[in-house]
Amino acid sequence: MATDKVYWKGFDELANTEVSQRLAQNEFAGEIPVEQFLGDEKLMGSAQTSRRDFLKYLGFSTAAATLAACEAPIVESIPYVVKPDSLTPGMPTYYATAYADGQDFASVLVKTREGRPIKIEPGDAGRFNRGTNGRAQASVLSLYDSARLRQPVKAGAETNWETIQADLQQAVASSVAEGKQFVLITGSVFSPSFKSVISALRQNYNNFVHVEVDAVSSSEVLDVWEALTGVRALPSYALSNADLVVSFGEDFLSGSTAQQLSKAFADRRKPGKGMLRHIQVESNMSLSGANADKRIKIKPSQVGSALAYVYNQVSGNNVTVGNLSEDVKGLLKGISAELSSAKGRSIVMVGGNSGANAHLCAAINSALGNIGSTLRPDLPVFICSGNDNVMANAMADMAEGSVGALVLVGVNPAYNRVGFAEALGKVAYSLSLCDRLDETASLTSAAAPIPHYLEAWADFTPTISELALAQPTIRPLFNSKSALEVLGALTGNTQSSKDWIKGTVAGFGLSWSQTLHDGGASLSNNVSISLSETSAKALAGAGEAASVAAEVVEGDFELALYQKTVGAGSQSNNPWLHELPDPITRAAWDNYITISAKDALAIGIVNETQSNGALNGSLVTLKAGNLILQNVPALIQPGQAQGTIGLAVGYGRSASGRVSDGLGVNAYALNLHQGFGAIRIEVEAGEHEFASTQLGNTMMGRKIVNEVTLADFMTDPSGASWNEKPTYHTLDGIKTADESNLWTNHDHESMHMWNMSIDLNSCTGCGACVIACHMENNVPVVGKAEIRNFRDMHWLRIDRYYSTDMTEARAEEENIGAIGKYAAMEVPGESPEVVFQPVMCQHCNHAPCETVCPVGATVHSREGLNHMAYNRCIGTRYCANNCPYKVRRFNWFNYQKNERFTDVNPAQDDYGRMVLNPDVTVRSRGVMEKCTMCIQRIQYGKLEAKKAGQPVADGAFTTACAQACDTGAITFGDVNTSGSAVQVAKNDARSYHLLEEVGTQPSVFYQTKVRNRA
Amino acid sequence: MNRSKPPFRMRFFATKLFRVLTIALMVSALTNPLQADVDAELGKKLFKANCASCHKLDKKLVGPALAGVTDRHSEAWLLSWVRNNAALRASGDAEANAIFEEYGGSVMAAFENLSDDDIKSILAYTQTPPAAPASGNLDVVPAPAAEVKTDNTTLLVILGTFLVLFIFLLLRIRNTLKEVNGDVGTTVVQDANALTRWLMGNKRFMTGFTVVVTVAFLYQLFWYLMGIGVEQNYQPVQPIAFSHKIHAGDNQVDCNYCHSSARSSKTSGIPSTNVCMNCHMYIDGSEIVNEAGQLKYAGEGSPEIAKIYAAIGWDADNRTYIEDYEQMPVKWIRLHNLPDLAYFNHAQHVTAGQVQCQTCHGPVEEMDVMYQYSELTMGWCINCHRETEVKTANGYYAESEEGTQTINERLAEKFHDDKITVEKIGGLECGKCHY
């Protein structure tokens, strides 16, 4: 029967409005981004694709793929002509070497496969600063940076080394003839071979000047220690002897020797009697501050006065103390009392580059008798030795035109020193030996490539008692030449850098092959530093230093510079470092000022969460004297001291490479050589889009990170009162989550059962594990826009939670209702405590993801792992939705091919692809991925055991994250092996599962964090 | 130990030598009664046993070419040189020292065991290199008669033709009979049309026909689709006509000698050219004899082996590596192409699982040209994992840390007396091969 009924979708259509007419013409209200999903935009051209075209492409590509699959692909298998003995195809080869990039130093092992370095691992036990921070981990990708300089360049055109060498010789000769200076600018030099070249240059050329300059200077601090000890080096910290650490703005957990300090710090913070207590006094929320038991907010300009005040308190002296509020004085009085009761077992550190502050700090340590026990000027560290005075003189000479020849080795002062670029213009001949045509090298007369540390021979004496060797792990990718050889040739010494190093090692009386194998050797050198004399000098000069410190003018706003994981700038073009969200702010791919909520409100800075969950923030202009920095994003940072802002260096590059150029602002342009200074802030129009990976800032009263105070931990070691297991009321009575179980259990007894323990007490949140995971598992880099969409691909993330001022108890006391309570709980406190929690796939034994997969792509193994078969996955994403831990990552794009990721994804160029781990599949578009607990390492480790005919030994292999962790926070192993570290951890009273009430029975568990509150 | 008794090895050698000599004497007595003690045939055997690793007749190897050596040196000198050249050199013999220097000081072993007649026999052999043996020579291994495959296609075609002719003939006969009867004859085409019309009209036939065709089509389609990517029997032409049969079969070279990383690594490894040179420095193929019993390459080296020399830069005439040679690797065509998503490890199978190479690669020792023997499909892997027993004697299963049960004990608790297959220890789990 026919009907004349008319259906309409809404009243609009009934009225047939303009809008509904327009909608009726377009089937879809918004445009369907077909090209975006088809991936290869080049093929699609600029033409719009209709749906029919789309179907045509689909049909054609299906048919083409089917036909193509019928043909046997011709794959060539090309063996070596002469295979190197040390290499077995398919097996890794390890080399001990030393990582030094002008900022950090680390003893590392380099894993190579078929001659390609693919992973950086911690060096031999016993080597100085063995271990890998984020930068050391990521450094292997910098080797394969296609922005590296490939050929020597002269006046913008490619040339050869002979020309470079001849020009240099000529320029140096004419500078001698003209009576002008020959200046060599390097980073801190602690290589004995390089030192011998420099002294040879000094002998050969009486117009020779050597300048050492660090991107982030410690020059004034070094001046102080040189005056105190006679040696221009920083003292080392012996945290193992300390019960109390008081740090005034020194971020020792991410500094240049952080690997060994973090380890010592974590070792001394094992919960129990004598647990190290850590107090941080600072303006920015640093990594060290986030890990402190007590954190005091203070302006950078007040640090000197605060130190003077503490000095007076602990020594009984009466030096000048600048302006300090009574509140701060009260807090400092408490610290002083604690310090006084831990004489000889405490340590006071100071950050920044203020000589007065450094001297006062030394004086406090002297007064406390710490020098020689916790602070060791007699074990100096030579990693940092830049001298700003010498640099200033050299720049003045350059500006005057009295420098005839200038050679720069691995430094970029045009980027990080205000005024250098102008001075450089007055130099007759300048040569930059550099890794890329950076800001400086693009201004010099000539530039020539030096090898990456993984391609070169080098030696280092980071301390008086350590010789570290660096050896090549790959043939140089480009036409590079070691600076040692270039400068050596000027002195008539044409030996290769290997022979230089060999000679140096022989000079120390060491065996070449043993030293090379171990990556270095201990030296029996001593430096003659009198501890008592140092102490006496420190105490004597305290009054003078205090009066200098008291004169520091307080600004309305003060800026303190800091470093993110990207560092000072030498590895700015490394996408892994940018992709890692900042441990504190959780924002990636940016630098920004951090400002307190109160200040932000006062000057009109807004941070707003958008409807898609992403964060937008105001832009500001910073003015320091007549220096101006525009378009600086502002991020509200809980725990930031009022009247202060923080800004990270290492961004705002203009000639570093496609990854980093134009990213962020250059904080060096404000010329704050002490690392802090007064600043003016003006809010600009416009918004900045942040790429933050975490918005929920607090735990909202839930037990996600379990915490206990040391006192409670000591009174109840069983954990019954502070580590309660969730229970359910059932028909059969009260049951734990494990007991009230719907599922049948897997067999986990007959083979292995891989478990992982994460000690939240040891985790400092540094993020080295995330980068290690990234490189081990070929995790794609997705870039800022995708991270802003919360499509980051990290298999392992480190959640950061702030404490809030609102608690259940307070809500009850003040009679605040549930809505008000939870609303208040969302807001982090003004001086919050911070916790970090690494979260990866928990490998649940009753995994919610497994039950919802329609194709059985994710299944359980009898070794306690949750397997993920990429080729079965059809991309329904049910698993990710059903995962209570939100650890599954979906490949929204083919990141290795799609053009929108060309700038950021290293796998898109031939060099960057070399870093991929050949044992791990590179995932394609449309599949889910997640942490596998490094199954490739497990399988490899088991096979090695089988090949040797032995049972798997505890600790024989471990995951990439556990290996990268300097503090040993991550323990991995077979829980079926009795006495294994992970079994011990599992039975510990502190152990708990994340969201245990869900009943997923994870293979990963956490150890309760213990706070040493006084 | 009885001092007078020579050590075992010596005795063994002496016995062997005695036997050889006896046979040689008998043979020589029959063939050449005039030269009872010196015999070129015996010399050849002795040459092969003692000298051939360092000397050739016509070419320099480690030592000089021996053809015509008797013209260059006196017999007495040669005897003392062969017996103990070191002693001869020590005695200050200028000739001996000159040769020693010429060949870079490579020391020739002393042959105290050879009698004067033996040496003379060898010398006789070097003097008169036997012409290519006419027939029944020792060098030619008769090729096994190629198995003649009974191919009956031709027979079927002939039969079919006969059948068609027969039908045609019958139709003609029927037609003729019709015409004889006075009926109107039909042509063959008309008959065929009539048959088709009748069949088309027959519902039963049409139903049956459709079912058969559809099933056959689907069957073919299924197997066609299942076969996509399966390259069983893939046998590409390789850049060097390398024969596994000659190497692994005839000469019994162990698989692991060339594919050495199969024991330790995930890849079995294509041998690098320097591994080939371990043997081919001495074997250039010039002695290969063809079926007619003649030297195949007329005394020149094999052009296939020459490709190895070209790759690595070996000067066969001067027996040296060419300096600053631009080496070019051999670009073999890969046979076994597993997709990237599957992880396979040779060491796991060869060393831990003690699987024979032939289990997956087939009778390689019989393959002149290598081909892919197995399907290399996932089903094929899984089947083997279901059936193969784990080698539980390995310490990985049989031993354990103090205080922990061994894996064997734990497996026994769970599976009792069942055989422990790869499947039972998790060998079918996705993540074992796909990560």
B344 — contact with chain A (CB < 8 Å)? Answer: no
**Chain B partners of A751 at a C-beta cutoff of 8 Å?**
407, 410, 425-426
Pairing of strands A707-709, A1009-1011: parallel
Q: How much is the pTM? A: 0.84
Give just the sign of the alpha carbon dihedral A378, A382, A388, A393: positive
Check pLDDT > 80 for residue A142.
Answer: yes
Q: What residue has token string 């309570």?
A: A821
Please tell me the least confidently modeled range out of A54-58, A533-537, B73-77: A54-58
CB contact (8 A) between residue A871 and residue B341:
yes
State chain A's mean pLDDT as an integer: 90
pLDDT score, position B98: 83
Q: How near does any CA of chain A get to the CA of B407, in Å?
A: 6
Check residue A810 and give its pLDDT.
Answer: 87
Cβ of residue B382 closer than 8 Å to a chain A Cβ: no
Q: Is residue A767 pLDDT above 50, yes or no?
A: yes
Q: Which residues of B touch A978 (CB under 8 A)?
A: 401-404
Residue B103 domain-assigned (yes or no): yes
Same domain, B19 and B63: yes
- Tens of pLDDT, residue by residue over A856-906, are 999 999 999 999 999 999 999 999 999 999 999 999 999 999 999 999 999
Q: Which amino acid is at A846?
A: H
pLDDT of B35 over the 50 cut: no
Answer yes or no: is B233 within a domain: no
Main-chain dihedrals φ then ψ at residue A734, nearest 5 degrees: -75, 130
Give the nearest chain A residue to B335 (CA atoms).
A75
Chain A closest-CA separation from residue B416 CA (Å): 12
- Which residues lie closer than 8 Å to A388 by C-beta, 6 or more apart? A213, A217, A219, A220, A673
Q: Where does the pLDDT of residue B48 fall: very low under 50, low under 70, confident under 90, or very high at 90 and above?
A: confident
A-proximal residues of B, 7-46, CB under 8 Å: none
Block residue for tokens 């430096």 = A527
Residues of A in contact with B234 (CB under 8 A): 72
Task: Name the packing angle between helices B273-280 and B303-312 (round to 10°).
Answer: 130
d(CA A1007, CA A1010): 9
In the three-class reduction of DSSP (H, G, I as helix; E, B as strand; rest coil), residue A915 is classed as helix
What mean pLDDT do residues A770-796 have?
94
| CA dist list (Å): A160 to A409, A411, A480, A539, A827 | 18, 22, 10, 57, 61
**CB-CB under 8 Å, A870 with B261:** no
Tell me, yes or no, whether B25 and B97 share the same domain.
yes
In angstroms, the CA A727 to CA A1000 distance is 14
Q: How confident is the model over B370-405, as pLDDT tens digits?
A: 999 999 999 999 999 999 999 999 999 999 888 888
The verdict on a CB contact (< 8 Å) between B426 and A863 is yes
The answer to whether residue B239 neighbours chain A at the CB level (below 8 Å) is no
| B136 belongs to a structural domain | no
Q: Model confidence at B418, in pLDDT bands (50, 70, 90)?
A: confident
Q: What is the DSSP string of B350-364?
A: IIIS---HHHHH--G
Can you give the pLDDT at residue A279? 96
Q: Does the beta-carbon distance from A82 to B269 stay under 8 Å?
A: no
CB of B264 within 8 Å of a chain A CB? The answer is yes
Q: Considering only CB atoms, which chain B residues are within 8 Å of A864? A: none
The CA distance from B27 to B30, in Å, is 5
Query: B219 and B259, same structural domain?
Result: no
Last residue of a domain, one of B110, B127, B144: B127
User: Is B219 buried (19+), middle (13-18) or exposed (0-12) by CB count in 10 A?
Assistant: exposed
- For residue A277, give the 3-state DSSP assignment: strand
Q: What are the C-alpha distances in Å from A402 to residues A397, A424, B234?
A: 5, 11, 74
Residue B313 lies in a domain: yes
| Reported confidence tier of residue B87, pLDDT bands at 50, 70, 90 | confident
Cβ atoms of residues A756 and A962 within 8 Å: yes
Helices in B281-394 by DSSP H: which ranges? 303-312, 346-347, 357-361, 378-387
Question: Taking CB atoms and an 8 Å cut-off, how many pairs form between chains A and B?
Answer: 178
Q: Which of A788, A771, A795, A290 is nearest to A588 (CA)?
A: A788
What phi and psi, each to the nearest 5 degrees, are found at residue A891? -80, 95
pLDDT, tens only, A667-701: 999 999 889 999 999 999 999 999 998 877 888 88
β-sheet with A153-154: strand ranges across: A157-158, A153-154, A446-449, A429-434, A403-409, A181-186, A208-212
pLDDT of res. B144? 45
Whether A72 sits inside 8 A of B273 (CB atoms) is no
- How many whole angstroms separate alpha carbon A423 and alpha carbon A389? 16
Confidence at residue A737, expressed as pLDDT on a 0 to 100 scale: 84
Write the residue in B231, B400, B411 that is nearest to A750 by C-beta. Answer: B411
Tokens read off for B316: 């066969």
Tell whether B145 is covered by a domain: no
B253-312 pLDDT, tens per residue?
Answer: 999 999 999 999 999 989 999 999 999 988 888 888 888 878 888 778 899 999 999 999
B76 and B33 in one domain? Answer: yes
What pLDDT score does B123 carry?
A: 84
Write the residue in A867, A943, A951 that is nearest to B352 by C-beta.
A943
* Structural contact between residues A960 and A777, judged by C-beta atoms closer than 8 angstroms: yes
The count of other CB atoms within 10 Å of the CB of residue A392 is 16
Residue A4 has pLDDT above 60, yes or no: no
- Kindly state whether residues B206 and B258 are assigned to the same domain: no
- The ipTM, to two decimals, is 0.84
pLDDT in tens, A594-646: 999 999 999 999 999 888 889 999 999 999 989 999 999 999 999 999 999 99
Give the pLDDT band of residue B171 (cuts 50, 70, 90): confident
Reading the block at residue A555, the tokens are 């600004």
Task: Please give the Cα distance from A503 to A512 (Å, whole number).
Answer: 9
Contact B265 A872 (CB under 8 A): no
Same domain, B204 and B267: no
- Helix H or strand E segment including A460: strand A458-460
**With contact defined as beta carbons under 8 Å apart, do A790 and A588 qualify?**
no
Average pLDDT of A268-279?
Answer: 93
Smallest CA-to-CA distance from A139 within A166, A162, A111, A167 is with A111
Kindly report which listed range (A679-693, A741-755, B101-115, B221-235) carries the lowest average pLDDT score. Answer: B101-115
Test mutation, A70, A81, A113, A937, chain B, max B CBs within 10 A = A81
Domains of chain A: 11-61 (no CATH), 219-381 (3.40.228.10), 555-692 (2.40.40.20), 707-1011 (3.30.70.20)
Residue B137 binned pLDDT confidence (cut-offs 50, 70, 90): very low
Distance, first Cα to last Cα, chain A = 86
H-state helical runs in A401-441: 413-416, 420-424
* Cα-Cα end-to-end distance for chain B: 64
What is the residue-wise DSSP string for B64-130? ---TTHHHHS-HHHHHHHHH-HHHHHHTT-HHHHHHHHHTTTPPPPP-TTS-HHHHHHHHHHHHSPP
* CB A588, CB A689: distance < 8 Å: no
Same domain membership, residue B16 and residue B93: yes
Angle at A452 between CA A184 and CA A648, to 5 degrees: 75
Cβ-proximal residues to A882 (8 Å cutoff; 6+ apart), any chain: A848, A849, A851, A852
**Does a structural domain hold residue B2?**
no
Same domain, B359 and B424: no
DSSP state of A686: E
In this complex, which of A79, A943, A952 lies closest to B270 when CB atoms are compared? A79
CB contact under 8 A, A943 and B341: no
Residue of A nearest to B402 (CA): A978
Nearest CA in chain A to B432: A939
- pLDDT band, residue B21 (cuts 50/70/90): low
CA distance B347 to chain A (A): 8
Domain assignment present for B113: yes
In the sheet that holds A105-113, the strands lie side by side as A92-100, A105-113, A116-122
Name chain B contacts of A871, Cβ cutoff 8 Å. Answer: 341, 434
Q: Return the pLDDT at B136.
A: 40
**For B214-252, how does the pLDDT look when each residue is reduced to its tens digit (9 = 90+)?**
999 999 999 988 888 888 889 999 999 999 999 999 999
Distance (Å) from the C-alpha of residue A234 to the closest C-alpha of chain B? 46
pLDDT-based confidence at A738, cuts 50/70/90?
A: confident
Tell me the percentage of chain A whose pLDDT exceeds 90.
Answer: 78
Comparing alpha-carbon positions, the chain B residue that sits nearest to A979 is B403
Q: Is the pLDDT of residue A448 over 50?
A: yes
Contact A81 B274 (CB under 8 A): yes
A936-991 tens-digit pLDDT? 999 999 999 999 999 999 999 999 999 999 999 999 999 999 899 999 999 999 99
pLDDT of res. A157: 93
Instruction: Return the pLDDT at A116.
Output: 94
Report the C-alpha gap between B297 and B212 in whole angstroms. 58
Q: Which of A60-64, A651-655, A814-818, B190-194 has the lowest mean pLDDT?
A: A60-64
Residues B20, B114, single domain; the answer is yes
Q: Is B299 on the interface with A (CB under 8 A)?
A: no
With CB atoms and an 8 Å threshold, state whether A945 touches B396. yes
Token pair for residue B19? 């036997």
Residue A950 with chain B: CB contacts under 8 Å: 395-396, 399
Domain identity same for B322 and B410: no
Can you give the pLDDT at residue B62? 75
**Which positions ≥6 away from A351 have C-beta within 8 Å?**
A247, A248, A249, A250, A251, A282, A675
Q: What are phi and psi of B159, to 5 degrees?
A: -60, -45
CA distances in angstroms from A327 to A244, A330, A964, B385, listed in the order given: 22, 5, 41, 73
Residue A118 backbone dihedrals phi, psi, to 5 degrees: -130, -10
A278 with A237: CB under 8 angstroms? Answer: no
pLDDT band at A215 (very low <50, low <70, confident <90, very high): very high
The upper half-sphere exposure of residue A855, i.e. CA atoms within 13 Å in the direction of its Cβ, equals: 15
What's the CA angle centered on A266, arms A261 and A271, to 5 degrees? 150
- Return phi, psi of residue B255, to 5°: -55, -40
Joined together, the tokens standing for residue A732 give 């059969």
Helix (H) or strand (E) holding A540: helix A531-540
pLDDT digits (tens, 9 = 90+) for A484-508: 999 999 999 999 999 999 999 999 9
**What pLDDT is stored for residue A563 in this prediction?**
93
B332 touches A at CB < 8 Å: yes
B223 at interface of A, judged by CB pairs closer than 8 A: no
Residue A374 and residue A361 in contact, taking contact as beta carbons nearer than 8 Å: no
- The residue type of A194 is F
Considering only CB atoms, which chain B residues are within 8 Å of A936? Answer: 343, 435
pLDDT at residue B125 above 60?
yes
Handedness of CA B422, B425, B428, B434 (dihedral sign): negative
The predicted-structure confidence for A231-247, as pLDDT tens digits, reads as follows 999 999 999 999 999 99
Residue B399 lies in a domain: yes
* Alpha-carbon distances of B175 from A158, B170, B178, B188, rounded to whole Å: 94, 8, 5, 9
**Option in A75, A751, A935 nearest B435 (CB):** A935
SS3 state of residue A919: coil
B215 with B251, same domain?
Answer: no
Q: Which of B394, B425, B435 sits opposite A920 (nearest CB)?
A: B435
Q: What is the CA radius of gyration of chain B?
A: 35
| Same-domain pairing of B186 and B207 | yes
Flag whether residue B394 sits within 8 Å of chain A, measured between CB atoms. yes
Question: Residue B174: which domain range?
Answer: 155-226
Average pLDDT of the segment spanning A921-933: 94
Q: Edge-to-edge, what's the strand order for the sheet holding A294-297?
A: A294-297, A277-282, A244-248, A346-350
Contact status of B92 with chain A (Cβ, < 8 Å): no
CA B427 to chain A, closest CA, distance in angstroms equals: 10
A861–B400: do the CB atoms touch at under 8 Å? no
Chain A environment of B229 (Cβ under 8 Å): 69
B70 — pLDDT class (breaks 50, 70, 90): confident
Other CB atoms within 10 Å distance of the CB of residue B7: 9
DSSP A197-218: HHHHHHHH-TTEEEEE--SS--
Instruction: Check CB contact under 8 Å for A88 and B273.
Output: no
DSSP designation for A583: T
Cβ–Cβ contact B269 with A under 8 A = yes
Residue B46's pLDDT band, with cuts at 50, 70 and 90, is: confident
Could you report the per-residue pLDDT of A33-90, keeping only the tens digit for each? 555 555 555 555 555 667 777 777 788 777 777 666 556 678 899 999 999 888 899 9
* Residue A67, pLDDT score: 61
Residues of B in contact with A859 (CB under 8 A): 429-431
Whether B432 has its CB under 8 Å from any CB of chain A: the answer is: yes
Chain position carrying tokens 């990708």: A141
A412-443 pLDDT per residue, tens: 999 999 999 999 999 999 999 999 999 999 99
As given in the structure block, the two tokens for residue A949 are 């005919």
Highest mean pLDDT among A251-260, A300-309, B92-101, B122-131: A300-309
Question: Rounded to whole angstroms, what are the CA distances from A415 to A438, A444, A570?
Answer: 8, 13, 11
**CA A389, CA A397: separation in Å to the nearest integer?**
12
pLDDT at A1: 44
Number of folded domains that form chain B: 4
Q: Which residue has the tokens 């404000």?
A: A670
DSSP class of residue A436?
S
What's the confidence (pLDDT) of residue B6? 46
What residues does A122 pair with on adjacent strands? A108
